[in-house]
Amino acid sequence: MSRRVTSEHLVAELVALLGERAFIALAENFGGRRLYVPRKIDADGEIAKAVGMTAAQKLSDRKSPDYLRVPLARGLRARHHRAAGLSNGEIATKLGMTETGVNSLFARMHSLPEKGSDKDRQLSFF
């Protein structure tokens, strides 16, 4: 009997395998689609161009030859972009959703990620 892998488990597995930065590049380039992962990675191939040769080879070693349903990972990507200092409007554009949707996404999170550029500009009162 095959076990269905949830999106959250797949995200965790791919982040552990590739690292967060390479996974985010994978999700931003291929999120929401089925991606064929070949046995032999070509440096000029779309996967290597998106995530780098090292991460592409790791993905191939673990997932080839097969199709991978690349998660959208909007929550992880939103946190990443927020930490990089992007506004909710800029994040909305990157995620392909509305700014209101981004506001709702952050509202559902247990801990709101700090905005990178705001952190540097805030005054400390203590």
List alpha helices for the chain, DSSP H.
7-18, 20-30, 46-51, 53-63, 74-83, 88-95, 99-108, 116-121
Q: Which two tokens stand for residue 49?
A: 């161009």
Average pLDDT over residues 51-77: 97
Task: Let me know if 57 is exposed, middle or buried by CB neighbors in 10 A (0-12, 13-18, 19+).
Answer: middle
Q: What is the pLDDT of residues 114-125, one digit of tens each?
A: 777 444 434 333
pLDDT band at 111 (very low <50, low <70, confident <90, very high): confident
Mean of pLDDT over the chain:
89
Q: Which two tokens stand for residue 118?
A: 């705001």
Q: What is the pLDDT of residues 65-82, one digit of tens each?
A: 999 999 999 999 999 999
Backbone angles phi, psi at 86, to 5 degrees: -75, 150
Q: What is the pLDDT of residues 40-49, one digit of tens each?
A: 999 999 999 9
